[in-house]
Chain A
Amino acid sequence: MMNDTINRPARTYTSIVTSQFKKNKLAVYSLHVIYVLLFVFVFADFLANDKPIVMSYKDNLYFPIFHEMGVDYLGMNWQKEFQTQQFKLISKHFEEGDWALWAPVPYSPQEYHLERKLTPPSWAHPFGTDELGRDVLSQMIHGSRVSLLVGFVAVSIYVFIGVILGALAGFYGGWIDIVVQRFIEVMITFPRMFLIITIVAVIETQSIINIMIILGFTGWTGVARFTRGEFLKVKNEDYVHAAKALGYSDFRTIFRHVLPNTLTPILVSATFGIAAAILIESGLSFLGFGAPPEQATWGSLLSSARDMLPSGWWLTTFPGLAIFITVTVYNLVGEGLRDALDPRLKQ
């Protein structure tokens, strides 16, 4: 037994979890889909844009997409010849030696071509165009940013709130526990969707940041309850007693000894929470309470396509599929994580 342990290479907790996770093929594929989504999220500007990535014009090399970022965020100005930003027009007057490398989807989400409105999927527009002739794929690529950002930010906010409140309630008990528990109960009495809609209606200014914060501040109850329950269980383990007998501070005991042993269900519920937040944002946008009208999100795409059914089937099918796939892969990864993080780690 003893020799056995000495000769076996040390396995860290992470490596055990990784190998357990890899046994679940579906979860691994889902994780890859999430990687693709993250890639789209980060590089949306380069995947769908009406400006070229690289352009050679009159013997000069230009990077219009980078330049656009500079204009948007760093206060730079457009060069004189590009003031109009009509690169597609400019490209029509290309002379010998001029060339441009376009984004894979050479349309911006706002760019409309009324002469091409409501065209079904084609090579030029793989997911078709909407009633103003805007490219659906381009809108979806940029909309993914909102959807995914809402998921991450909202969940981060509510995991933070939930863990802190749950940890305090579970660790200290007594009146803190009673106050937190009653607060949770009051929160869950409100149907979440109606609570969100009410707050959105009161706030008036529609912005995606507001949606994230509202989702964050309404969603923490589940995490708080999980954390509280886990804390109640773990704080009576002997290693926590040992920590107290050694005189460690409450802060150290909570964050170094108790919290790491309670993270499993929190992590899993956070993964499911991302899926839920994406769904709620889509729902809100569908109802018109979500992102402002000029911002394309998967939910608002669905919403505006509602009137075009059944003839404009591509307008609802593709954004709907995107929501469905995203929510599904997050749930599958959450399930894979839950199994892999099982405390009874099978070797």
Chain B
Amino acid sequence: MNEKLDIKPLLKVRELHVHFPIFGGILQRKVAEVKAVDGVSFDVFPGETVGVVGESGCGKSTLGKAILNVLRITAPDVHVAGEISIEKDGEYTDLNTLSKKDIMPFRADIQMIFQDPFSSLNPRMIVQDIIKEPLDLHTKLTTDEKKEKVAWLLDKVGLSPEQATRYPHEFSGGQRQRIGIARALATNPRMIIADEPVSALDVSIQAQVINLMMDLQQEFDLTNIFIAHDLSVVEHISDRIIVMYLGSIVEVGKSDDIYYNPKHPYSKALLSSVPVPNPAARNKTRVVLTGDVPSPLAKPSGCGFRTRCPIAKPECAQSIPELKDMGDGHFIACPIVTEATS
């Protein structure tokens, strides 16, 4: 899926399905299911940042949580199928098949930065304890070493060690997000999943936090999955971008290719929705979609996007389109565009 075929991917996701059952009736039987993630496959290579974009409800956050493997604890009814393999010492382990106990050593490898800095920190714990807690579980440091590491982490994310004894409510949103980043870094992870880490912040703070994340990625040699709906932010931080619609990937490619030359009709519409500051430079051919995203409970047959697609044809209802290589690591899931270009 990528031109860097000589490099082994750090994370391989294959045919990932996440289905949330809906219960109803007196007996609370399963009456339907929401296919939040519906057959998603992609690779993440070491050291890169992969942006995941798509509108609300397209399954990007669920994808992140599935990779993090918290869904089966937070939502025991949820059905997660497929392969989520992480590379460790040259070997791949499928996290989805591991037991609660066996997954422990891998928990330290993948960490998450959450969207809402106001709910991601325990309000009854001081900052020091929040950052120290992962160390208790995943390292064998002495108390003094832990204290030192907490101070060091706080320094790395741009907070002063004196602030370690404060409670989260005493910090601003940006500072809280920095604490969240410090907590995620405490276990020495190799991969960070950032679930809309800046969408709850002011624009000026957004830039600070994004630059901090990029600096830390360099310094700690991290691999990032950056989930967002703000395309300009994603374009700035990502090496590659995955565009999702209704639980499926519709387009994957290098950041610049997607941003400046989107091929899939949905990506085109998504990108033309990005506001352009200069009125003279505004794109005259804006693609405006009509209607709403179909309910994931009742997905259209064939291509999920066909109900809103400006170039839809009757055959789109026939089969689910597969990702086709357009060259240079650019894949799209739209047979109509692929046929027209070839």
**A residues bordering B, Cβ < 8 Å?**
1-2, 5-6, 8, 10-13, 172-174, 235-248, 256-257, 260-261, 343, 345
Query: Which residues 71-98 of B sit at the A interface, judged by CB distance below 8 A?
Result: 73-74, 76-77
Contact of A239 among B120, B163, B171, B175 (CB under 8 A): B120
Query: A247, B124: Cβ atoms under 8 Å?
Result: no
Query: A1, B172: Cβ atoms under 8 Å?
Result: yes
Query: A246, B119: Cβ atoms under 8 Å?
Result: no
Query: Which residues 98-135 of B sit at the A interface, judged by CB distance below 8 A?
Result: 103-104, 107-108, 110-112, 114-116, 119-125, 133-134
A15 to chain B minimum Cβ distance, whole angstroms, is 11
B104 partner residues in chain A, CB cutoff 8 A: 247
Query: B133, A238: Cβ atoms under 8 Å?
Result: no
Q: Can you give 25 contacting A-B residue pairs, CB < 8 Å?
A: A5-B163, A5-B170, A6-B160, A6-B163, A8-B170, A10-B165, A13-B124, A172-B76, A174-B76, A238-B115, A238-B116, A239-B119, A240-B74, A241-B114, A242-B183, A243-B122, A244-B74, A245-B68, A245-B110, A245-B111, A246-B111, A246-B138, A247-B137, A257-B122, A261-B123
Query: B119, A237: Cβ atoms under 8 Å?
Result: yes
Query: Which residues 33-80 of B sit at the A interface, judged by CB distance below 8 A?
Result: 65, 68-70, 73-74, 76-77
Interface centre among A1, A237, A239, A243 (most CB of B within 10 A): A239
Contact of A10 among B160, B166, B187 (CB under 8 A): B166
B200 to chain A minimum Cβ distance, whole angstroms, is 11
> Smallest CB-CB separation from A236: which chain B residue?
B74
Whether a CB of chain A sits under 8 angstroms from the CB of B169 is yes
Q: A247-B104, A248-B137 are in contact. Are A241 and B74 (CB under 8 A)?
A: yes
Query: A6, B162: Cβ atoms under 8 Å?
Result: yes
B160 to chain A minimum Cβ distance, whole angstroms, is 7
Contact of B137 among A246, A343, A345 (CB under 8 A): A246
Contact of A241 among B70, B125, B138 (CB under 8 A): B70
Q: A11-B170, A247-B107 are in contact. Are A238 and B114 (CB under 8 A)?
A: yes
Can you name 6 extra interface pairs (CB under 8 A) apart from A247-B107, A261-B123?
A6-B163, A13-B124, A242-B112, A242-B120, A243-B122, A245-B112
> Smallest CB-CB separation from A344: which chain B residue?
B169
B198 to chain A minimum Cβ distance, whole angstroms, is 15
Query: A246, B166: Cβ atoms under 8 Å?
Result: no
A172 to chain B minimum Cβ distance, whole angstroms, is 8
Query: B121, A5: Cβ atoms under 8 Å?
Result: no
Query: A238, B107: Cβ atoms under 8 Å?
Result: no
B169 partner residues in chain A, CB cutoff 8 A: 345
A237 partner residues in chain B, CB cutoff 8 A: 119-120
Whether a CB of chain A sits under 8 angstroms from the CB of B152 is no
Distance in angstroms between the alpha carbons of A333 and B180 in the assembled complex = 37
B116 partner residues in chain A, CB cutoff 8 A: 238
Interface centre among B70, B77, B103, B122 (most CB of A within 10 A): B122
Q: A5-B163, A241-B70 are in contact. Are A261 and B122 (CB under 8 A)?
A: yes
A255 to chain B minimum Cβ distance, whole angstroms, is 12
A1 partner residues in chain B, CB cutoff 8 A: 172
Contact of A238 among B108, B119, B171 (CB under 8 A): B119
